[in-house]
Each structure stands twice: as C-alpha cells, then as structure tokens.
Amino acid sequence: MTSIFFSASFYSNAEDYWKEVAPTVDGMLGGYGSISSIDINGSKAFLKKFLGEGEGKTGTGCALDCGAGIGRITKRLLLPLFRTVDLVDVTKEFLDKARSYLGDDGKRVGNYFCCGLQEFVPEAGRYDVIWIQWVIGHLTDDHLVDFLQRCQKALRPNGLIIIKDNVSYEGVVPDEVDSSVCRDLDIVRRLVGQAGLRIVHEEQQLNFPKEIYQVHTLALR
C-alpha cells in the first residue's frame, strides 16, 4: 500500500510547485532539456509499432496528451502522427504558453483542458491514443486506477493508452520537492491490472543519463 505517501495536501503542493516552474522545455524536464530528442525518438519508434491501416492497427485520428505542460510531446510526437491532439494540464500558464509554442501546427489542437487528471473525464470514444508521460506520480493509487478506467472508455476501437514514466528499483519513493511518488514496475503493473487493463507491449527507454531513474513505456488497452 502506498497510501501513506499521499497527504491531504498532495495535489495542492504539486500545483504550487508547478506554478513556479518556467514554461520551457527545460522546465518541463526538470533541467534535463537535453534529453528531449532522445525521449521523443524513443517514443516515436514505440508508437509506430501500432499505428497504421488495417486489421488491429491503431488509428491516427485523435490523441490526448496528459500532463501536457507547454506541449513538448504534442509538438514533436503527437501532432506529426495524429490529425488532432487535445492537451490536458493542471497549470494554466503552461497551456497558455502551448498556444504560441506549438506554432502553426497548433491549429490542429482540438482542446486545451485545464484540469488535474484526478478530476479529468475524457470524452468517451474520442481517442486513438492517450499518452500519459511523467505524470502518474502525481496521482494517488486510487485516482490512477480510476483515471485509467476513464481513459479506457475514451478509446476508439484498437485505441491504446501509453504510460511512459520513471520507475523506482523497489517500492515507492516519495519526492517532497514536487509532491509526487515514483513507483516500481511491479506496482505500476498491479495498478494497471486493477484498472482492468492489460499490457500489450513494454519497453525500457535507452540512452538516458545514468543518474536518473529508469524510464519504461507501457502500451495498455
């Protein structure tokens, strides 16, 4: 059980933290802006395994970027692959910045939702891919399970939920600075199972700096 890590101010402390973060790629990546291209290229290779025409393939109509920040992933990963992308983030300043950061391609953004994921209800049957990167640590276990269940209802046929996040070596590691937790892979898998989802594919992101947590990508449906 990880509930001991979630105080009454777990969400408000995180909101306060992100309000002070610069609306830049470096800010989104906690000072590791230099890894952005490695990250995007790894994500693109992962996603392209599933996208396309034909039996069992995932469509390219609409994607949702969860914890989108200024739209780093929307700009470089999702908009090049999908006709329409929606962004959801709890920090209004980041979404405001996204409108200029995304440039002309921003015309293909469907919605900017300013909302915490613990409260966000994605539209049923809207999304081919729901991309959830570096944000599950900001949800309590119960809220993560509930959110994943809502995401499943929001998928189109053959749609996918993608989680890409840090994993700890063992157990749950709290981060007091940004009011989040880092879970080990077994805990993440267990919560995915609790949500009634199965893991279709799983990979570790390679070529990240040695000093940061391992990052794993999981495709769910």
Identify whether the C-beta of residue 118 lies closer than 8 Å to the C-beta of residue 147.
yes
Show the beta-strand stretches assigned E in the chain: 62-66, 84-89, 109-114, 127-133, 155-167, 172-175, 180-183, 199-204, 214-220
**Calpha distance 163→134 (Å, rounded):** 8
> 140 among the known binding-site residues?
no
72 is in an annotated binding site: yes
Interatomic CA distance for residues 188 and 183, integer angstroms: 6
Q: Is 99 annotated as a binding residue?
A: no
39 annotated ligand-binding residue: no
SS3 for 19? helix
User: Is 89 labelled as part of a ligand binding site?
Assistant: yes
Check whether 77 is labelled as a binding-site residue: no
Write a three-state SS string for 85-142.
EEEEECCHHHHHHHHHHCHHHHHHEEEEEECCCCCCCCCCCCEEEEEEECCHHHCCHH
Residue 115: DSSP 8-state = -
Judge whether 71 is annotated as a binding position. no
133 annotated ligand-binding residue: yes
Q: CB under 8 Å to 122, separation ≥6 — which residues? A: 64, 88, 130, 150, 151, 153, 154
Query: Which residue from 94, 98, 150 is spatially nearest to 119, judged by alpha carbons?
Result: 150
Binding residues: 67, 72, 89-91, 117-118, 133
Residue positions forming the annotated binding site for S-adenosyl-L-methionine: 67, 72, 89-91, 117-118, 133
